[in-house]
Structure 1
Amino acid sequence: MITDPAVIDELIRQFHFLQCADADFVRHFFGSTKVIHLPADQPICQQGMQCSHLALVIEGTARIYKIGENGREITLYRIGPGESCILTASCIMSQKPFPAFAVSEQPIQAVIISTSDVVRWSNSEQAWRDYLFRLISERLSDVISVVEEVAFRRVDRRLAGYLLQNTDNVSNRMQVTHQSIAHDLGTSREVVSRILKDFEQQGLISITRGAITLEDRDHLNEKSTE
């Protein structure tokens, strides 16, 4: 049960279906869910596990990823505040095992919903059903984009785009490891390091321990669209 007014207000602000649902559903929602806290780098779900709850994230981020036969990871998507996991919802509705891995990247505060409530509300509550359909639609688009990137774009173009997307126009700097980039792009750390070194030699970036600074955004943008 959730009784903290601050948590209730934040959930209503972040999750639109709670603003659209009728009062009885909202009361039942807060009466049957609970808040959990997870530390950073906490495994959340392993491939092949049955999903017992669906989490709605209030604070923090989680990464959903696959591991190939060669041990290489690829990030499918991330979940942040106001979001939930399409794969978990799908597994609950289909009663199939979780097909990937999930880990917290930052400390997480979330609300968890039991599988029985997820299914029951899907059959009886229009606002909740609309939320799940919208979640599936948005995340499916994200996953398709990942597949297209991996299958059809060269790694150097993808890496250039990744650097542009993950740094702001003010500092032009990001704290990141080569291994983390490799996981997100679905390639090896060695490939990432080699391309970053090439970018540095071309004057596009500068590399320090644990950080990358963009020195020429315009030419890096050209590199991403070659």
Structure 2
Amino acid sequence: MITDPQQIDRIIDCFGFLRRKDPTFKRHFFQAASVVHLNKPQSICHEGMSCTHLALLISGTARVYKLGENGREITLYRIGRGESCILTASCIISNTPFPAIAVCEEALEAVLIPTAEAQNWMSRFPAWQEYLFGLISERLAEIITVVEEIAFRRVDHRLAAYLLKRAESNGSRAIKVTHQEIASDLGTSREVISRILKDFESRQMISANRGCIDLLDTRILSDQL
């Protein structure tokens, strides 16, 4: 149960569905909810586990990924402030095990809703139903994009787009990221990423140092798309 008024206000500010004029739903929500704090790189959920709670992030970042038999990772999506996990929501609705791995990527704070309540509210409160279905619809489109990228787009083109997007979101041409992290996000091997980055560097598009990549010429890099 969450009773602190300031904490309740923070949570309502994060999640639009709580701003609806439905005092009954709000009462049930905060009676069932609890708050958890996790630090990097704590595990959130392993593949095959039962989903006992749905986590709604107040702050921080979680990463959801698949791990292949060869040990290679592919990032499906990340979850940030005001968001939740599509796969957990889907598992709760369908009573199926979690099909991926979720880890804390940046120290996070989240609201936990027990599975029984999350299921019960689907038939009782339209705001909750719309939130979960909207979440699934939005994230499903992202996952389809990931599959299309892997299947149909060259890795060097995907890497160029990845670097430009990271620079734009960071507001800086200096990107703090390792070759392995990029490989995991793009679903390829570290060796492939290192080879392409070396080619980019030889063409003076980037400058690569340990744990950091500086974009030197975004125009030429954009031509790779």
TM surpasses 0.5: yes
Distance 1:152 1:8 in 2: 45
What's the CA shift for 1:86?
0.5
Aligned to 1:3: 3
Aligned to 2:44: 44
Aligned to 1:153: 153
Distance 1:59 1:50 in 2: 24
Verify the 8 A CA contact 1:21 1:127 in the aligned structure 2: no
Structure 2: gaps of 5 or more residues: none
Aligned to 1:186: 187
Verify the 8 A CA contact 1:53 1:112 in the aligned structure 2: yes
Aligned to 1:208: 209
- CA-based RMSD of the aligned residues comes to 1.0
What's the CA shift for 1:21?
4.8
SS in 2 for 1:35: strand
What's the CA shift for 1:170?
5.2
Residues 170 and 53 of structure 1: CA distance in aligned 2, closer, same or farther (over 3 Å):
closer
What's the CA shift for 1:194?
0.4
Aligned to 1:35: 35
Aligned to 2:175: 174
Worse-matched range after superposition: 166-175 or 99-108: 166-175
SS in 1 for 2:109: strand
What is the percent sequence identity of the aligned residues?
60
Aligned to 2:68: 68
User: How many pairs were matched up?
Assistant: 224
SS in 1 for 2:188: coil
Distance 2:196 2:5 in 1: 50
What's the CA shift for 1:69?
1.6
Structure 1: gaps of 5 or more residues: none
TM-score for both structures, normalised by structure 1 = 0.97
Residues 170 and 103 of structure 1: CA distance in aligned 2, closer, same or farther (over 3 Å):
closer
Aligned to 1:197: 198
What's the CA shift for 1:5?
2.1
Distance 1:120 1:129 in 2: 10
What's the CA shift for 1:6?
2.3
Deviations 1:6-27 (A, max 9, x none): 2211111111110125101101
SS in 1 for 2:167: coil
Verify the 8 A CA contact 1:33 1:112 in the aligned structure 2: yes
Deviations 1:40-91 (A, max 9, x none): 1001111011100000000100000001121100000000000000000111
